[in-house]
Amino acid sequence: MKLRKVTAASAAVLALALSATACGGDSKDEGSGSGSGGGGKIKIGIKYDQPGLGLKEPDGSFSGFDVDVATYVAKQLGYKPDQIEFVETKSADRENALARGDVKIIAATYSINDERKKKVDFAGPYLLAHQDLLVKKDSKISQATDLNGEKLCSVTGSTSAQNVHDDFAPKAQLKQYGGYSECIAGLQSGAVDAVTTDDSILAGFAAQDKYKGQFKLAGLKLSNENYGIGVKKGDTATLNKVNAALEKMVSDGSWQKAVDKNFGPAGYKNEPAPKVGVIVK
DSSP string of 187-237, one letter each residue: HHHTS-SEEEEEHHHHHHHHTSGGGTTTEEE-------EEEEEEEETT-HH
Judged against a pLDDT cut of 80, whether residue 108 lies above it is answered with yes
Inter-residue contact 109 to 198 (CB < 8 Å):
yes
Residue 97 CA, chain-centre distance (Å), reads 14
- Is the model's pLDDT at 125 over the cut of 80? yes
Q: Is the pLDDT of residue 22 over 50?
A: no
Total H helices, total E strands in the chain: 9, 13
pLDDT over 80 at 202, yes or no: yes
Give the model's pLDDT for residue 43: 98
For 74, 96, 243, 250, the CA distances from 79, given in Å and listed in that order, are 5, 24, 16, 19
User: pLDDT grade, residue 14 (50/70/90)?
Assistant: very low
Average pLDDT value for the chain: 88
* pLDDT score of 39: 65
Q: What pLDDT is recorded for position 28? A: 45
User: How far is 161 from 140, CA to CA, in rounded Å?
Assistant: 19
Sign of the CA dihedral running 120, 123, 125, 130: negative
Identify which has the larger pLDDT, 25 or 244.
244
- pLDDT surpasses 60 at 21: no
Map out the domains of the chain with their CATH numbers: 42-128+225-266 (3.40.190.10), 131-217 (3.40.190.10)
